[in-house]
Structure 1
Amino acid sequence: MMVIIPFDNSYARLPERFYAPVRPTGVAAPRLVRLNIPLASELGLDPDWLSGPEGIAMLAGNSVVAGAFPIATAYAGHQFGGFSPQLGDGRAILLGEVVDRHGQRRDIQLKGAGPTPFSRRGDGRAALGSVLREYIVSEAMAGLGVPTTRALAAVLTGEGVRRETVLPGAILTRVASSHIRIGTFQFFAARGDVEALRLLADHVIARHYPDPAGSGNPYLGLLEAVIAAQAALVARWMLIGFIHGVMNTDNMSIAGETIDYGPCAFMDTYDPGTVFSSIDEYGRYSYGNQPPIARWNLTRFAEALLPLLADDQDKAVSIAQDVLNHFDGLFQSSLVAGFRQKLGLVTDDPDDVELIKALLETMQRGQADFTLVFRRLSEDALQAANGSACRDLFGNPAELDDWESRWRERLLKEPVPAETRQNAMCRINPLFIPRNHRVEAAIQAAVEQGDLGPFEELIAVLARPYDRQPGREDYALPPAFHERVTATFCGT
């Protein structure tokens, strides 16, 4: 059989207790919804072959090409604070790994390709709506420069899936640096399998964090690297108003990528308590609670690593705690640096934290749109005095005037020319985000009318989030009252 995709499956070379071999379940009438041609080329894959009959058969799970070794990976996880010792890929099947044109190893996974030994009575399928949501938001995150899994393709199965009603079935082909999670480590820690923990840690170090390999304690170096990656990632979420929605430990990637877009959403009106997930009744995963939850999850990761950190339990706990204590500082440093950029500041001033805090508080009181406030400040950066285009975003514009006067005084201390500052701000403050009402409208059109036009248009807009796009100005606007989306759903 001719090798079409140069798979090199390092995870499948680990012992079989790390996964379950499983073939995708074929579907009745696969049809390609969308192929991500730039991503295919980046992976070194032939877009023409992928969009042809043989490629679609692979993307739908109807065939397994040479070199693939399909598996469902094992993991555990804390879900809304409660521990489940066995979860695993219940509707996702890892076909294998490829090394892309930049020399980076990438997983290729089918999501919605049928039941696995970890399905727990589930059907292993995905509905078209959840596939399109993940495609839209993950590609939007990539366009915004946030570390993320990617969407390579979406395929209709020609079969229905039963949720509250019967919905069109679909499969997403997802690409990731890996699908190893905090919960993967928890799976082996819960079983007291120190050998597997060591094998997994060595695999992650070699694949994602090779620098710790030569240190005196590579597993301590691994913990430090993962904490730093997650602190930077969650800061990036906060800077664009992103709410993951389900930050369980099995949804936290060891590689520091955003993974598992279920009830995710982007905030319109700024409010730290914003929650969209229909299953998050108590706001555990609200926008403002994401940093402490990230630290909580990382504490669970550190607990799993304890047998590798030191032979003595008390010493291992002390080592882990010392490292975990760095999270808040790392996160805060990334967040403040990001907000400085959003406000056009290139130098450090001890009063900047208070300036940022004051703006956010004013935005919350004035029920202002998070994304548009920063974008309009970018567009106002050439002005020498107040008169901001932001004023009409606030219910209390006089309060903004007071804050803006402080901001303009602060800008006078900057060595950067105004035009340079404005250009830099427009490169960091997006005009377009995947507004929830736009995402829902695209999904509704596809599911209910079979119309993929709004989905394609939205994908095109979000590929250039920082650029003015004549004729597409409405995509930058927050929802009208009747368009507001108050709840999002997992889709499982």
Structure 2
Amino acid sequence: MSSKVQFSHRFAELPQAFYTPVDPQPLDNLKLVVWNDDLAEQFAFSTTSQMTEDNIAAWFGMGENENFQPLAMKYAGHQFGAYNPELGDGRGLLLCEATNTEGEVFDIHLKGAGLTPYSRMGDGRAVLRSSIREYLCSEALAGLGIPTTRALGLVDSETPVYREQVESGAMLLRLARTHIRFGHFEHFFYTNQMAELKLLADKVIEWHFPHVVSETNPYAAFFNCVVDQTAEMIAYWQAYGFAHGVMNTDNMSIIGQTFDFGPFGFLDDYEPGYICNHSDYQGRYAYDQQPRVALWNLSALAHSLSPLIDKSLLEAALGQFETQYSHYFSQLMREKVGLLSKQDGDSELFNDMFDLLKANRVDFTRFFRQLSELDKLGREPVVDLVLDRESASAWLERYQLRCQTEFNDSGEAKSDLERCAAMRKVNPKYILRNYLAQQAIEKAQQGDYGMVRELAELLKHPFDDQPDKEAYAKLPPEWGKKMEISCSS
């Protein structure tokens, strides 16, 4: 760890109603699975080649590190719609903050660090399986340009952890602009700690929304920002076919970053009601329910902020969510299909496209990628994805006629080459399909971390043709589709 790095501990300076100091509990015989050199270099941290045993131990709580001041945050939250006051960092510790080379401050958080006062009936551990999934998915979303936390490093160990079976304990280092959640505000509201509620809002504004300080009502302006940033995050999820799986309010970042990866899944076949969490018996967190749930969660946050913000202002902000979400989603989808101008008939064209994908269970990611390669490959690869070839051909005919009415900045009709080149920058060739993650996990559990590292690098550049990685762009096998994932970790 370089001496040039600037560390801070702003959250630790808050009253202890906000957290409990806790030291990490060691794991046995740490093994470095993967280290994110690209991210490390942004902070002047050690890179993989510099990660000695002592360095690994220092990063993952096994040795002395004067820069860390570990603490477990206290919060609450609504889980599957039911309020739970007994939440907090049950297996993770906020170690400190670090400033990157751009002057941006990020939390450094250690997940799987052992028991805390908020572990409830758990053991405070994380297992290799779930830690690999979080590492890969956070980096996959970052590669796609989706607001997300990031993964810095991951270690395996010989410490046994008991879930459905015995697994190896692991630790994940996570970076985020903040670990403050909707549930932090809920905790102070429902326990009637109004001074702490106000202090938390003041600090969140100071740290993350300083531009609202000069507003007539900074608290209302802050909430407006939270609504807008959450709407944008959800629009990205929907546009890229990402299902989070467990959108409890304690898993909702106050700054609209994708947070706490568990039973997530990317769409394979386009199925709007896709449920990735096998514990989600009612489909509350199905892919097509995510915008609705986000608004529900924002309403829960609004209730917790009601001592600070007038009800009419909260309702006005919530009332803008659907408009904001629709704006962001429409913008993203227009970029994906290369139709940036708004014209009569576009709504029908888009609706018919989604109907075609749904009726024929077309692979979501592959469809848009093939559409972006019409200039190179022609129509056949798109039509081949659709069982009803006649309907696919008819829609493509309408789509290509519509493309002829798009113009560039010079006022000239956009060429297929120009349009498709732009589309390939927003339509990934590679995504983290669950079956790929599972294959990497199974190899890692046997001590082979090569596929984890390979996927981590691949997913940093999801839009690029990577000729030696074509196997990762293949359509999933039938057994690998619609895999439901456990929350257990």
TM range (shorter): over 0.9
> Are the structure 2 counterparts of residues 4 and 17 from structure 1 closer, same or farther at C-alpha, using a change threshold of 3 Å?
farther
Map of 1:132 onto structure 2: 132
Is residue 456 of structure 2 the alignment partner of residue 464 of structure 1? Answer: no
Is residue 391 of structure 2 the alignment partner of residue 420 of structure 1? Answer: no
For 2:155, what is the secondary structure of its paired residue? Answer: strand
Tell me how far 1:352 sits from its aligned partner. 2.1
Tell me how far 1:59 sits from its aligned partner. 2.8
Tell me how far 1:436 sits from its aligned partner. 1.0
Map of 1:273 onto structure 2: 273
| Per-residue CA distance 1:90-115 (angstroms, 9 max, x = gap) | 00001000111111110001000101
> Are the structure 2 counterparts of residues 445 and 345 from structure 1 closer, same or farther at C-alpha, using a change threshold of 3 Å?
same
In structure 2, runs of 5+ residues without a counterpart are 408-413
User: Partner amino acid for 1:319?
Assistant: L
Tell me how far 1:464 sits from its aligned partner. 1.3
Name the CA distance, whole Å, in 2 between partners of 1:389 and 1:28.
Answer: 51
- Residue correspondences, number: 483
Contact 2:267–2:482 (CA under 8 A) maintained in structure 1: no
> Are the structure 2 counterparts of residues 48 and 458 from structure 1 closer, same or farther at C-alpha, using a change threshold of 3 Å?
closer
- Two-structure CA RMSD over aligned residues (Å): 1.7
Map of 2:322 onto structure 1: 328
The 10-residue stretch of structure 1 (332-341 or 350-359) with the greater mean CA deviation from structure 2: 350-359
Contact 1:226–1:255 (CA under 8 A) maintained in structure 2: yes
Map of 2:403 onto structure 1: 411
> Are the structure 2 counterparts of residues 128 and 459 from structure 1 closer, same or farther at C-alpha, using a change threshold of 3 Å?
same
For 1:467, what is the secondary structure of its paired residue? Answer: coil
Contact 2:239–2:332 (CA under 8 A) maintained in structure 1: yes
Tell me how far 1:53 sits from its aligned partner. 2.5
Contact 1:246–1:285 (CA under 8 A) maintained in structure 2: yes
Contact 1:86–1:187 (CA under 8 A) maintained in structure 2: no
Tell me how far 1:3 sits from its aligned partner. 5.7
Aligned-residue sequence identity (percent) comes to 40
Tell me how far 1:379 sits from its aligned partner. 0.2
Contact 2:268–2:482 (CA under 8 A) maintained in structure 1: no
Is residue 356 of structure 2 the alignment partner of residue 358 of structure 1? Answer: no
Map of 1:16 onto structure 2: 16
Name the CA distance, whole Å, in 2 between partners of 1:27 and 1:474.
Answer: 35
| Per-residue CA distance 1:346-386 (angstroms, 9 max, x = gap) | 21224323221210110010110000000000001468xx8
| Per-residue CA distance 1:307-330 (angstroms, 9 max, x = gap) | 111xxxxxx222211110000000
User: Partner amino acid for 1:371?
Assistant: T
Tell me how far 1:412 sits from its aligned partner. 1.4
Tell me how far 1:404 sits from its aligned partner. 1.2
For 1:372, what is the secondary structure of its paired residue? Answer: helix
Tell me how far 1:444 sits from its aligned partner. 1.2
> Are the structure 2 counterparts of residues 48 and 243 from structure 1 closer, same or farther at C-alpha, using a change threshold of 3 Å?
closer
Name the CA distance, whole Å, in 1 between partners of 2:125 and 2:11.
Answer: 24
Tell me how far 1:205 sits from its aligned partner. 1.0
Tell me how far 1:224 sits from its aligned partner. 0.3
Map of 1:264 onto structure 2: 264
Name the CA distance, whole Å, in 1 between partners of 2:372 and 2:10.
Answer: 46
For 2:262, what is the secondary structure of its paired residue? Answer: coil
Map of 1:433 onto structure 2: 431
Tell me how far 1:445 sits from its aligned partner. 1.3
Matches within 5 A, 1:17-32: 17-32=17-32
Map of 1:153 onto structure 2: 153
Contact 1:115–1:123 (CA under 8 A) maintained in structure 2: yes
Contact 2:4–2:44 (CA under 8 A) maintained in structure 1: no
Tell me how far 1:255 sits from its aligned partner. 1.4
Tell me how far 1:54 sits from its aligned partner. 2.7
Match of 1:343 among 334, 337, 344: 337
Matches within 5 A, 1:175-254: 175-254=175-254
> Are the structure 2 counterparts of residues 424 and 25 from structure 1 closer, same or farther at C-alpha, using a change threshold of 3 Å?
same
Name the CA distance, whole Å, in 1 between partners of 2:403 and 2:485.
Answer: 40
For 2:75, what is the secondary structure of its paired residue? Answer: coil
Name the CA distance, whole Å, in 1 between partners of 2:375 and 2:341.
Answer: 16
Name the CA distance, whole Å, in 2 between partners of 1:223 and 1:381.
Answer: 44
Name the CA distance, whole Å, in 1 between partners of 2:49 and 2:179.
Answer: 25
Name the CA distance, whole Å, in 1 between partners of 2:383 and 2:48.
Answer: 50
Name the CA distance, whole Å, in 2 between partners of 1:358 and 1:158.
Answer: 53
Tell me how far 1:48 sits from its aligned partner. 6.0
Tell me how far 1:45 sits from its aligned partner. 1.6
User: Partner amino acid for 1:348?
Assistant: K
Name the CA distance, whole Å, in 2 between partners of 1:402 and 1:49.
Answer: 55
User: Partner amino acid for 1:355?
Assistant: L
For 1:440, what is the secondary structure of its paired residue? Answer: helix
Is residue 485 of structure 2 the alignment partner of residue 491 of structure 1? Answer: no
Tell me how far 1:455 sits from its aligned partner. 1.5
Name the CA distance, whole Å, in 2 between partners of 1:85 and 1:53.
Answer: 40
Contact 1:4–1:65 (CA under 8 A) maintained in structure 2: no
User: Of the two structures, which has the highest relative contact order with CA contacts closer than 8 Å and spacing of 6 or more?
Assistant: 2
Match of 1:446 among 444, 449, 466: 444
Provide TM-score, normalisation by structure 2. Answer: 0.96
Contact 1:129–1:491 (CA under 8 A) maintained in structure 2: no
Is residue 368 of structure 2 the alignment partner of residue 367 of structure 1? Answer: no
Name the CA distance, whole Å, in 1 between partners of 2:207 and 2:392.
Answer: 48
Contact 1:27–1:60 (CA under 8 A) maintained in structure 2: no
